[in-house]
């Protein structure tokens, strides 16, 4: 019994052997080249620590009595702009002796408020954010949490109170976000 191999099967067999041969060739070539065989793996980046007040830069606030304001680079973890860092201002009147430890504690508290918001625990998020706002009444990150959580819970009076403290850009975003929950704002 003689079986004939079709042309198609012969071509497929030849192609499979060629792929196998190329695979073996590449394996041998990579192992014989020292710079390719031992590619260094980069070490993980060390965790960033918040800047200390000595490294913070200052700029005028625009009022003669306010003095100068320390600016600390802080990533904004709000849902609208996760990739762009925000600048959080610490005024001397609100935090006259803001040390690195106090800033870290404040950042940890704000992160805790964000996590509560992300979990959907809006009462807890609002409570934590209100503690931060007691120290820093113009903290945009916490004002946004207060407005968003209030809108989601349908508390338009509380949302309006904090909405009026937001800058114009953030107000526009909050109008859009809260509009989804049927909350609208009065600009006066």
At 124-166, the pLDDT tens digits run 999 999 999 998 898 999 999 999 999 998 888 999 999 999 9
pLDDT digits (tens, 9 = 90+) for 164-182: 999 988 898 999 889 988 8
The candidate with the shortest Cα–Cα distance to 80, out of 171, 17, 2, 16, is 171
Give this prediction's pTM.
0.47
Average pLDDT of the residues of the chain? 75
Residue 43 or 164, more confident: 164
Token code pair at residue 167: 């800058």
Phi, psi torsion values for 155, nearest 5 degrees = -95, 85
- In this prediction, residue 34 has a pLDDT band, given cuts at 50, 70 and 90, of low
pLDDT top residue among 96 and 23: 23
Phi/psi zone of residue 31: left (φ > 0), alpha (ψ -120 to 50 degrees), beta?
A: alpha
* Of 42 and 121, more confident: 121
In order of 3, 51, 62, 84, the CA distances from 102 in angstroms are 85, 12, 25, 24
Q: pLDDT, tens digit, for every residue of 80-94? A: 444 444 444 444 444
Q: Across residues 47-60, what is the average pLDDT? A: 50
Average pLDDT over residues 47-59: 50
pLDDT on residue 25: 92
């Amino acid at each position: 019994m003689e079986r004939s191999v079709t042309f198609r099967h012969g071509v497929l067999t030849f192609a499979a052997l060629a792929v196998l041969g190329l695979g073996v060739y590449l394996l041998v070539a990579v192992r014989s080249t020292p710079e390719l065989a031992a590619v260094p793996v980069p070490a993980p980046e060390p965790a960033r620590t918040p800047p200390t007040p000595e490294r913070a830069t200052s700029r005028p606030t625009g009022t003669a009595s306010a003095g100068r304001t320390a600016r600390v680079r802080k990533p904004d973890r709000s849902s609208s702009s996760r990739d762009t860092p925000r600048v959080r201002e610490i005024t001397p009147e609100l935090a006259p002796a803001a040390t690195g430890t106090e800033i870290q504690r404040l950042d940890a508290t704000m992160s805790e408020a964000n996590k509560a918001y992300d979990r959907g625990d809006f009462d807890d998020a609002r409570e934590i954010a209100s503690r931060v706002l007691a120290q820093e009444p113009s903290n945009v990150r916490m004002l946004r949490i207060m407005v968003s959580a209030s809108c989601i819970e349908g508390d338009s009076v509380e949302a309006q109170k904090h909405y009026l403290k937001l800058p114009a850009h953030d107000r526009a975003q909050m109008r859009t976000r809260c509009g989804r929950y049927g909350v609208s704002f009065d600009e006066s």
